[in-house]
Amino acid sequence: MKNHPIIDQDQMKRGEFLRSLGMSSAALMAFYCLGTTLTSCSKSSDPTPTTPPTPTPTPSTGTGLTGNADASQGTVNFTLDLKDANYSKLKTVGQYVIVGSLIVAKTKAGSLAALSKTCTHQGTQVEYRMAQDDIYCNNHGSTFSTTGVVLVTPAAKPLTQYKTALSTDGNTLTVTT
Ligand code: FES
């Protein structure tokens, strides 16, 4: 019985020693982790990237077109490069192109007309006819003027007309709502 306090004291000392070791280990681990973190931070803030940059996605609009030509995607506002092979035909009277949700035509009179390409009857894509100088739907024969007015039914509503502006050098066409 007389030794118990001594044993207890020894056990307590061992416990304190172990706890002391534990603390030291924890402290060492903390320093280790801190060191690792700092090392990682140092690497992540390195101004010289080790991986190549992500390539820029190829524009879905194609060459020669800048801006939005799809009325379902917001306000129509775009430019066409008439030097680009996709749109150069708009320099020729009687030609037309489909751009997004629009039809753009170089009319018989030499002006540029931009209208919604979707027939207001049942949604077929329209075309420009130089001989008649009109916009025609070959599904049921609806016909519109180059400003979108219905000339021949069954379509009852006009095509949406957009504004066109040609640059002074004739190479850039701007189309807006
Ligand atoms: S869909 Fe154009 S006339 Fe019917």
Closest CA to 127 of 62, 115, 152: 115
φ, ψ of residue 143 to 5 degrees: the values are -130, 140
Range of the domain at 25: 1-44
Confidence of residue 41 (pLDDT cuts 50, 70, 90): very low
Q: Which pLDDT belongs to residue 56?
A: 45
Closest CA to 130 of 154, 150, 113: 113
* Digit-coded pLDDT (tens) for 143-175: 999 999 999 999 999 999 999 999 999 999 999
Q: Which of 122, 127, 150, 153 to probe ligand 1 with, by most ligand atoms within 8 A of CB?
A: 122
156 CA → ligand 1 middle, Å:
10
The reply to whether 93 and 155 lie within a common domain is: yes
The reply to whether 37 and 114 lie within a common domain is: no
Residue 85 within a domain: yes
The reply to whether 4 and 75 lie within a common domain is: no
Percent of the chain with pLDDT over 90: 65
Residue 55 within a domain: no
The reply to whether 146 and 107 lie within a common domain is: yes
* Digit-coded pLDDT (tens) for 48-67: 555 555 554 444 457 999 99
> From the CB of 174, is ligand 1 less than 6 Å away?
no
How many domains is the chain built from? 2
> From the CB of 101, is ligand 1 less than 6 Å away?
no
- Polymer length in residues for the chain: 177
Buried b or exposed e, range 79-109, using 16+ CB within 10 angstroms: bbbbeeeebbebeeeebbbebbbbbbbbbbe
Residue 6 within a domain: yes
The residue whose CA has the least distance to atom 3 of ligand 1 is 140
The reply to whether 36 and 69 lie within a common domain is: no
What is the token pair recorded at 50? 């080790």
Asked if 102 and 69 touch (Cβ cutoff 8 Å), the reply is yes
